[in-house]
Chain A
Amino acid sequence: MIRKVRQHISQNEALIFEESSPGKSGYQLPPLDVPAIDPAAALGKQNVRDEIEGFPEISEVETIRHFTRLSTWNYAIDLGLYPLGSCTMKYNPRVNEFVARLDGLAWAHPYQPESLSQGALQVISDLEAAMLEITGMDAVTLQPAAGAHGEFTGILLVRALLESRGNPRKRILVPDSAHGTNPATAAMAGYTVQNIKSNEQGLMDVEALARFVDEDVAALMVTNPNTLGVFEENIVQCAKILHDKGAMVYMDGANMNALVGLARPGDFGVDVMHINLHKTFSTPHGGGGPGGGPVAVKSWLEPFLPIPRLARKNDQWHLDYDRPQSIGRVRAFYGNFGVLVRALAYILAHGCDGLRNATLDALLNANYIRHKLAPYFDLPYTSPNMHEVVFSDERQAKRGVKTGDIAKRLIDYGFHPYTVSFPTIVHGALMIEPTETESLREIDLFIDSMISIAKEIETDPKMVLGAPYDTRTNKVDEVGAARRPVVRWKPERPASKAAD
């Protein structure tokens, strides 16, 4: 029975270009208080463009209706549980949005004098301190713009340290359960990637790892808890194997929200890691970004951190560019500052106890779902899980229904799907992460929906395969989109022109 939603009307809306009509506009500019300038005279005739063909011409009220109508076609955390495993879709507190828009922060120019930037630099300093206490590391840069950007920065740091020791080495080890960004990052940093197989518990195989690690290995990139939501219990031994050969341990901190207040990567052998502010620290995903990907390191990697570094001089914060061993810049200016403000607001709101409680609630919610759904869905790895749980569609696939189909049916029940078919070491994965945000009531609704779908698959698998039924857009032809890509709107040609 579908309890969370029922059908309702949603408005149609054409593309903004099709809504436009000549001469309409929604902007206002005050009259110029200086003499107007002839563009052709100032810039040269050849440098002045004609009007921008096809650009919108639309009123203010039409603009707000257009985007509001579009917005109603989206699912969002604000509408309910968003159980995308690995993505950590938790509530985004609105006070964070408010403070990020305060004039002195939002309108701060990155080149304004340091004496007039002490507030911004204090925010950076406070967030750095919080990151260090939470991760147990020695130094941190807040410059990377997202997780993958942090990975790239972190691996460049490893490379710089190894180069300073005489040999950058050749290979990066990546477990087969890793996010795709890990191997892509290693390649961008000039390393070859060696995939290592997980053991039967879905964990890193210590013996296999020992065989792979030699003097050519620069680092292991490991996600902990891993993408099964399982803590790599052998992490300390694994780190020792790497360190004994002079290699580093890089931790992908995508799942750091399972550890905050309970365990610190700096205490279990990690040399360098990134943190996803848009996951663990609740900065909004915004339909795909922006994010924040601070990179925290042990002291031996500190000299190589990107410039500039925050420093204290004469009782003032300032930015230090005199860092001869630095890998250089990975981004202009100082990072996604507005995202840093939001993350710090989240940390201040929670404080020491609140952060730990959030972690525990996330663990509890994930374990509760695991125990309630285990009778209905196959659990390929039975190690204790942390903040997320990964089922497989094995039972349902026998009736011809796969994880992607179950996900689409879940939409009819009013939920966003879980992560489909990842990690790839689980055949037909259903990767579920509820986060601490969800109440028992919302989680029970989700569990009831999943059980109901499992029963539908027993009685009417064909019906499930046709889902979703109740969305305004149903199954989308992705094959057609990829075969003949149309990635921009173009005006329809008049019939006479199309004919010739």
Chain B
Amino acid sequence: MSTYPENFRYTKEHEWAHLEGGVATIGITDHAQAELGDIVYVDLPKVGTKLEKGHSIGSVESVKAVSDIYSPLTGEVIEVNEGLASTPEQLNHDPHGAAWLVKLRVTGDDEIKKLMSASEYQEYVGAEG
């Protein structure tokens, strides 16, 4: 069974967000990477991009599929995980850790609270699967 960190929050589109002091780290879940299979490319926004909750951040690609990533929160991109460009396979190995996607300076109020907790997400993917 995959483990979803308790201090992360999750979306139905299989992104996670981890908020620390006004900055949220965003990634895709272990369930998402497993569904996609071998990830070959990650398309991420530039630093400075302003994102609204639910809008596309970018996409992840396997050989035969493209999956959009949606921002779980509203904010501005302050850091992008550049390493994923040369080693997209990291997303398959460590989606909740080293293979985070972007860091956002969060501007929306309380959006994080509307996301799922680890146990809710676990239940959600269990039901979806």
User: Which residues from chain A sit less than 8 Å from chain B, CB to CB?
Assistant: 478-479, 482-483
A483, closest chain B residue (CB): B40
Task: For B38, give the chain A residue with the smallest CB separation.
Answer: A479
A429 to chain B, nearest CB (A): 14
Q: Is residue B95 within 8 Å, beta carbon to beta carbon, of the partner chain?
A: no
Least Cβ–Cβ distance between A407 and chain B, in angstroms: 14
B85-115 CB contact bits vs A (8 Å, 1 = yes)? 0001100000000000000000000000000
B41 surroundings in chain A (CB, below 8 A): 482-483
The B interface, classified by DSSP as helix, strand, loop or mixed, is loop
CB of B127 within 8 Å of the partner chain: no
C-alpha gap A479/B64 in the complex (Å): 10
A483 to B35, CA, bound (A): 18
> Given the complex, which residues of B lie within 8 Å of A479, measured CB to CB?
38, 40, 62-63
Cα–Cα distance between A3 and B41 once the two chains are bound (Å): 42
Fill in one digit per residue for B53-69: 1 if any A CB lies within 8 Å of its CB, else 0: 00000000111000000
- Residues on A with C-beta less than 8 A from B38 are 479
* Min C-beta distance of B115 to chain A, whole Å: 28
| Residues in chain A near residue B63, CB distance under 8 A | 478-479, 482
Please, how many residues of chain B have a CB less than 8 angstroms from a CB on the other chain? 8
Q: How far is the CA of A478 from the CA of B41 in the complex (A)?
A: 13
Pairs of residues from A and B, 4 with the lowest C-beta to C-beta distance, nearest first: A482-B40, A479-B38, A483-B40, A478-B63
6 additional A-B pairs beyond A479-B62, A479-B63, A482-B40, beta carbons within 8 Å, are A478-B63, A482-B41, A482-B61, A483-B40, A483-B88, A483-B89
Interface centre among B38, B41, B61 (most CB of A within 10 A): B38
- Chain A nearest CB from B99 CB (Å) reads 14
In the bound assembly, the distance between CA atoms of A482 and B40 in angstroms comes to 6
Q: Which residues of B have CB within 8 Å of A483?
A: 40-41, 88-89
CB distance from A230 to the nearest CB of B (A): 25
Looking across the interface, which residue of chain B has its beta carbon closest to that of A404? Answer: B64
Nearest-Cβ distance from residue A12 to partner chain B, whole angstroms: 27
Shortest distance between the CB of A377 and any CB in chain B (Å): 22
Q: How far is the CB of A485 from chain B (nearest CB, A)?
A: 9
Cα of A179 to Cα of B40 in the assembled complex, Å = 24
- 8 A–B contacts, CB within 8 A, in A order: A479-B40, A479-B62, A482-B40, A482-B41, A482-B61, A482-B63, A483-B40, A483-B88
Q: Which residues of A have CB within 8 Å of B62?
A: 479
Interchain nearest-CB distance for A228 vs B (Å) = 21
Interface core residue of B41, B62, B63, B88 (most chain A CB under 10 Å): B63
Kindly state the separation between the CA atoms of A462 and B80 in the bound complex, as whole angstroms: 42
Report how far A482 CA is from B42 CA in the complex, Å: 11
What is the bound-complex CA distance between A478 and B40, given in angstroms?
Answer: 10
CB of B122, distance to nearest CB on chain A (Å)? 26
Q: In whole angstroms, how far apart are the Cα atoms of A479 and B61 in the complex?
A: 11
- Chain A residues, CB < 8 A from B88: 483
Residues of B close to A482: CB separation below 8 A: 40-41, 61, 63
Smallest CB separation, A371 vs chain B (Å): 32
Report how far A43 CA is from B89 CA in the complex, Å: 50
**Residue of chain A at shortest CB distance from B88:** A483
Chain B 33-61 against A: per-residue CB contact (8 Å), 1 yes, 0 no?
00000101100000000000000000001
CA gap between A482 and B41 in the complex, in Å: 8
**Which residue in chain A gives the minimum CB-CB distance to B86?**
A484
Closest CB in chain A relative to B65 CB, distance in Å: 11
CA gap between A483 and B89 in the complex, in Å = 8
Q: In the bound complex, how far is the Cα of B107 from the Cα of A102, in angstroms?
A: 71
Q: Shortest Cβ distance from B100 into chain A, in angstroms? A: 19
CB-CB under 8 A from A478, the residues of chain B are 63
In the complex, A213 Cα to B61 Cα: how many Å?
A: 34
Residue of A nearest to B41 (CB): A482
Contacts of B40 in A (CB 8 A): 479, 482-483
- B42 to nearest A CB, angstroms? 11
Report A487 CB to chain B, min CB distance, Å: 14
A381 vs B104: C-alpha distance in the bound complex, in angstroms?
A: 48
B40, B41, B89 interface centre (most CB from chain A within 10 Å): B40
Determine the chain A residues whose CB is within 8 A of the CB of B89 once the complex forms: 483
Minimum C-beta distance from A180 to chain B (A): 12
A1 → B minimal CB distance (Å): 33
- How far, in whole Å, are A25 and B62 apart by their CA atoms in the complex? 43
Docked complex Cα distance between A195 and B41 (Å): 27
A479–B88 Cα distance when bound, in Å, is 11
Task: Name B61's closest neighbour in chain A (CB-CB).
Answer: A482
In whole Å, how far is A157's beta carbon from the nearest beta carbon of chain B? 30
Closest chain B CB from A428 CB (angstroms): 14
